[in-house]
Structure 1
């Protein structure tokens, strides 16, 4: 099945929230999601958006998201932080996560970021293997993943 990766619109937020809730269940924190669709819309689509969002959409529905924001490193400068990369369980293994990550790395490159970073739980072996396969540097515990600016194009092209 083909997938389109695109920037999200307000209309995508209900499905985005459902994927966020699905992730919370997967990460063994089913009651941790306190945000609602109205807040996601306000924070992501106002005059000064707090985050950016890509969606992976098939002919049927949105099957994945990548939510990110920018931070600043005193050592490196501008950093794109990938808060969550989520692909619904039934659609995993089809390359959608890689396409979303490619979009994130391309965005980091276009926004002149020196790093792209994220975290993954230390027990999440499928995700850890996914990130190792692209050449990300992984730490221990809550694993901090980093792709350096000079790696962006090598990975997303």
Structure 2
């Protein structure tokens, strides 16, 4: 739990990189409760340098009616100064191991179509990058104001 403030900083760094600087609305309290409260929904692996978190991979369990239980990689983030040093590979390899250890039917995630470095990284693993799916969502406000 003590890493949560730093993880949230990295999440904001990711949102800025992904051209969505105002999209992060989760509070630190909500984030901590979701990971360490009575019903935790996410887990994460971190990489550190001299005791400071410089990257993380956050995941949760997803259920597919077609495939069964799968590990869903929500975020894989390495702070900019540490990119290209193999830390992303270290985390991604650990996620594959976790998927295997938990007996899941696979691992899934999303990548922005313009994020060429990430796409190149995933292609090294021979990942299937699908086209044709559109993301859909309702915001907290939309849910609250639903009539």
TM-score, with length taken from structure 2: 0.87
1:13 corresponds to which of 4, 9, 27: 4
Q: How does 1:6-155 map to 2 (within 5 A)?
A: 10-140=1-131
More strand by share: 1
Gaps of 5+ in 2: 135-147
Contact preservation (8 Å) 1:122, 1:141: no
* Higher radius of gyration, 1 or 2: 2
Detail structure 1 runs of 4+ shifted over 2 Å in the superposition: 140-143
Superposition deviation, residue 142 in structure 1: 6.8
Gaps of 5+ in 1: 1-9, 144-157
CA distance in 1, matches of 2:55, 2:29: 20
CA distance in 2, matches of 1:34, 1:142: 25
Identify which of structures 1 and 2 has the higher relative contact order when contacts are C-alpha pairs closer than 8 Å and 6+ apart: 1
In structure 2, relative to structure 1, the CA distance for the partners of 1:141 and 1:29 (3 Å cut) is: farther
1:154 matched residue in structure 2: none
